[in-house]
Chain A
Amino acid sequence: MKVRATQAIMECLLEQEVDTVFGYPGGTILNLYDELYNYKDKIRHVLTAHEQGASHAADGYARSTGKVGVCFATSGPGATNLTTGIATAYMDSSPVVFITCNVSEDLLGKDSFQEVDITGIAMPITKATYLVRDPQTIPDIMRQAFAVAATGRPGPVLIDFLKNVTALNTMIDYEFIPWTQNRSTNSIRELAINHGLKAPEPDIGDINKLVDMIAQSERPLLICGGGVVRGRADQQFREFAEKLDAPVAITVMGGGGFPGAHPLTTGMIGMHGSQASNVACNECDLLIAVGCRFSDRVALQPDTFASQAKIVHIDIDRSEIDKNVLTDHHIIGSAKRVLELLNDRLPQYSHKEWKEHILPLRAEQPVEGGDKLTPGQVLDAIQKAVPHDTIVATDVGQHQMWSIQHFHFEYPGQLLTSGGFGTMGFGLGAAIGAKMGNPDKVVVHTTGDGCFRMNCHELATVQYYHLPIITVVFNNGTLGMVRQWQHLIYHEHYSQTTLDRGPDFVKLAQAYGLKGKRVTNRAEMEAALQEALSCGCGYVIDAQIDMDEMVRPMVAGGAHITDFLLK
C-alpha cells in the first residue's frame, strides 16, 4: 500500500500502541504536525511550554506506565532543548523515543536556519540515533527505534527526519504490522541476532552457584536497584527477599521495587542511606545487588564497599559487571527471569540473629512537633492526606532525599526521580507525564524553590490540560543541598546559593490560573492539602521551611560507607 511518509510515521506510532505524545512544533517538523492533525482522534498530543518539559513529560510517562514515551521537537533549538531530558532518560534507563526533524537534504551541512547536528549531539546520551534520509526506510527505522528503546536495558533513542523526507507528496510502501509481529521483520531480526534485543536467558550454572553461595551465607543483604523497577520485577524480588529472610536496602532508583514499609526494608543505601542499610552493607557476608550499578552515590568508596562480603551482581547489562565494584559472582539476565529461577530453587531461610542486629538500626526519626514547619512535618502531612498509591515526582536536592527517605513506595513507577543525572527541573514535567498516563491516580510533585523556578512555566501545561497535580515547594530560600555541602565542607562559604528573591509562588500559581497557598505550620499544611485534593485543578503549596535544615544521615562522597558526617 502507498501512503504518505508522514502517514507511515503516525501508523508506526499506532503499531506501537502509542496514544499520547509530548512535544512542541516548529518549522522543520511542520509536515509531521500537519499529519498529526489528521490523526488527532487516535494520537493525543500534549503541548508543553518548553521542549525540556516535553522531554521530561515523555520520560515521566514512560517511567510511570512502563510503556515507551514519545516526544516531538523541531530542529535546532527545539532539538537541543531536549538534550537535558534525553540525558536524564539515558542515565535512568527510561525508554523514550525522541523524534526531531531537521532541515532538508539540500540545506544539510550548510549552517542553515535552525540547523544542528542533533544525532551527533545526542550520540553519547542515547542507545541509538537515526538520521533518516530515505523515506522508504521510515517503517524499518521506526520499528527498530522502538525495539531498541524498550528491550534489554531500556533507554532513549533519537530519530531525526530530514524535512524533505517528510514532504507531504512523498509516498512510500507501507504495511501495518502490530509491534508484537514486527519484531520479526528482517531488519529487526538481524538487529536481534547481533544485539540480543531480548534479555539474555540467565545461565543455569550461574544461578546454581548463587544458590550455593546463599546456603553458605549467614549475613546476606539484598540491594534493590533501578533494574527491579524498570523490569517490573517487584513481585519476584519480594518473594526472593522473603525466602532469603534478608534485609533489603533500596537505592534511589530502586524506590518502588520493594515495599518501603516491608519489615525487611532497611531503607535507602549510600550517601544519604540509613544507618541500617550502610551498616548492613559493611557487615554482611553476602551482598546480592539486583539491577544496581554501584554508582558513586551508593558505592562511595569502591575499594572498601561491602569488604566482608562476597558481592554478587545481577544485571541485564553485561557492561555493568565489574565496572564500578569488583564482584565475586554475577548473573546476566532480566531481574524478573533471574529471580524467578532463583525462587524456584531456594528453600525458606531464616536469618533471625542477623535481622535482629540490623533491622532495629533503621528506626525512623519521629516527626518533630512545634509551630515551625519542618520537612518531616510536610512529608508526614502529605503521606497521611493522600491515597497510598499516590505517584510522587521529585526534583533534585534536599527535598528529593527527604521525599525518598520518608515515603514508603509500594510499586514500580510510583517514584519518579532523576537519580542518575540529577536534573533540577525534572519533577513538574515528569508529573505531567505521569498524570497523563495515570489519570486515576493522585500525583504529587515535591520540589525546592531552586528546582521549581527552573521549569515552573509548565504550570501553563498543568492548567491547560486540567491536571490536578499538587506541587509542594520546600521553600527554604536557598539551594539547600549545595548549602548543606557548603556548611559541612566549605567552611560556611554560602557562595551563590541564597535565593532571596521572587517570585511569590502562590501568586505565580494564580497567574497561571491555578490555586496555591503559603503555609508556615503543620495545621496550615494539612488544610492546604485538603483544599488541593478537592479543588480539581493544579495546586501549589509554598511550604516555608528553615534554610538550615539538613538531610540526615550523610556520608561524604568518597568516604567509607559507615563514616557518617551527619547522623
Chain B
Amino acid sequence: MKQTISVLVENRAGVLNRITGLFSRRAFNIDSLAVGVTDDPTVSRITIIVDSGNNVVEQVEKQLNKLIEVIKVRTLEENNLIGRELMILKVNANNKTRQDIMTICEIMGAKVADISPTSLTMELSDTPDRLDTFQSMMRPFSILEVARTGVIAVQKGGGKI
C-alpha cells in the first residue's frame, strides 16, 4: 500500500543524505521523493512515498523522528491530501501526428513546452495516476524522454504539519 510521508527538515548540506541513508539502512524502499524549500528558507519539505505495510511506515516515521535534523514528520492519509507531480514528456511528432497529440493534451490539460519539426515536448502537473494515463496515451506516438519530479503533497483543509 502506498503511503505519503511529509517531512520538514533543516535546510542544510547532508540532511537529505541522512534521510535517504536511514531508508536504505533499514531496507525500506522509497517509491518517490521530492525536496524543496518551504516559506521559511531554513526549512525544507521532503515528500516521500513508500510502498509498504503499516508496520514499516510506522517504523519509518519513528526513526525519522529521531533524527536531529528532522523538525516534523507526518504520514498523510490518502483521502485527505492534495498530491501533485510534474511531468515533462517528449514524443516524436510530425505533420501527420501532431494534431492527434494536441487533442490528447487538451483532454488531459497538458501544456506544450517546446516544439520542433520532429517532436513535441509537453508538461503536465497532476496526480500520479493521471500522469500515468497521459504517459500511456502518448506511448503509441513513441516517447523520446520522460522526466517526473515525484509527488509533493500537503494535507487538505486549514491544518498544517
Contact = CB atoms under 8 A, between A and B. Distances in A.
B108 interface: no
B65 A318 contact: yes
B83 to A, nearest CB: 25
Interface stretch (B55-63, B85-93, B123-131): B55-63
B62 A319 contact: yes
Interface stretch (A123-131, A280-288, A302-310): A123-131
Contacts of A181: none
Contact of B14 (A131, A318, A321, A322): A131
**Residue from the set B17, B21, B59, B68 with the largest chain A CB neighbour count within 10 Å:** B68
B55 A322 contact: yes
A127 B68 contact: yes
A131 B67 CA distance: 16
A120 interface: yes
Contacts of B70: 194
Given A120-B17, A123-B17, A123-B18, A191 B68 contact: yes
Interface residues of chain B: helix, strand, loop or mixed (majority): helix
Nearest to B68: A128
Contacts of A318: 62, 65
B58 to A, nearest CB: 7
Interface in B41-97: 55, 58-59, 62-63, 65-72
A487 interface: no
Contacts of A191: 68
A194 B72 contact: yes
A120 B72 CA distance: 23
A195 interface: yes
Contacts of A124: 21-22, 25
A322 B21 CA distance: 22
Chain B: interface size category: 20 to 34
Interface magnitude class on chain A: 10 to 19
Contacts of B67: 128
Nearest to B58: A322
A323 B63 CA distance: 10
Nearest to A133: B13
Interface string B8-48: 00000110011001100100000000000000000000000
Contacts of B72: 194
Interface string A140-162: 00000000100000000000000
A148 B68 contact: yes
A195 B14 contact: no
A195 B17 CA distance: 19
A191 B71 CA distance: 9
Interface of B: 13-14, 17-18, 21-22, 25, 55, 58-59, 62-63, 65-72
Given A123-B21, A194-B71, A323-B59, 14 more contacts: A119-B14, A123-B14, A123-B18, A124-B22, A124-B25, A128-B68, A129-B14, A131-B14, A148-B68, A191-B68, A195-B66, A317-B66, A319-B62, A319-B63
25 contacts: A120-B14, A120-B17, A123-B17, A124-B22, A124-B25, A128-B68, A129-B14, A131-B13, A148-B68, A191-B68, A194-B70, A194-B71, A194-B72, A195-B66, A195-B68, A317-B66, A318-B62, A318-B65, A319-B59, A319-B62, A319-B63, A319-B65, A321-B62, A322-B55, A323-B59
